[in-house]
Amino acid sequence: MDDLGEALDSIRTMRSHLARSAEFRFYGPAAIGFTALLAAAAAYLQSVLVPAPGAHLLAYLTLWTITALLACSTIAADVALRARRAHSGLADEMVREAAGQLLPAGAAGGLLTAVIAWYAPQCAWMLPGLWQIILALGVFSACRTLPAPMRLAGFWYAATGLACLALAQVPHAFSPWAMALPFGIGEALAAIILLLAGGAHEQDD
């Protein structure tokens, strides 16, 4: 029984290593592109429903938190569907590895938002820039199993996040454009990269 247990552990370890080294092909361009539209829609809703975010911080945070949750749910559902259709023995391990690469950044973003909103609301103007930098870190973390050009999306979010921090002036830091342009263009760029990479894989196959 001990030998059997060791053999099963070795198999699980090998599968985990293979999942880490294999390219993750379960992100769909359509789902990623849809999140760009979500960012644009949320920016429009902000301009209509929360015209003064600095004075209504909770409403601002609620709007963008709901947008982020919708975006993550859309991508997660698409990944699960694609993984199920793949019929690959490594699909489950690859999905878990991908989630493990992104969850730390997501958790850090959520906790940072909560701490600033609760203990330092006067610093909330930094949140759009910080969100973009955190997303850049998540993209870079996942890049080892994504198409190499995906690093461009990471550099984009890092640059726009730093620009938001450097150039923002309260109350302009809460401008809908500070979210719509970085996230809309960044997600559209990621969708195009995935689309081109998918075409290249089909030609190789």
Assess whether the previous peptide bond of 104 is cis (omega < 30° from 0). no
Distances in Å between the Cα of 178 and the Cα atoms of 19, 163, 165 are: 36, 10, 10
Rg of the chain over all Cα atoms, to the nearest angstrom: 19
The two tokens of residue 188 are 């559209």
Q: How many Å separate Cα 203 from the centre of its chain?
A: 28
The two structure tokens encoding residue 94: 């690859």
Handedness of CA 66, 70, 71, 75 (dihedral sign): positive
pTM as predicted: 0.84
Helix (H) or strand (E) holding 95: helix 91-119
CB neighbours (10 Å) of residue 171? 12
Q: pLDDT digit of tens for each residue in the chain (205 aa)?
A: 455 455 444 445 544 544 444 456 778 999 999 999 999 999 999 999 999 998 999 999 999 999 999 999 999 999 988 888 765 666 677 777 878 888 999 999 999 999 999 999 999 999 999 999 999 999 999 888 888 899 999 999 999 999 999 988 766 789 999 999 999 999 999 999 999 987 544 444 4
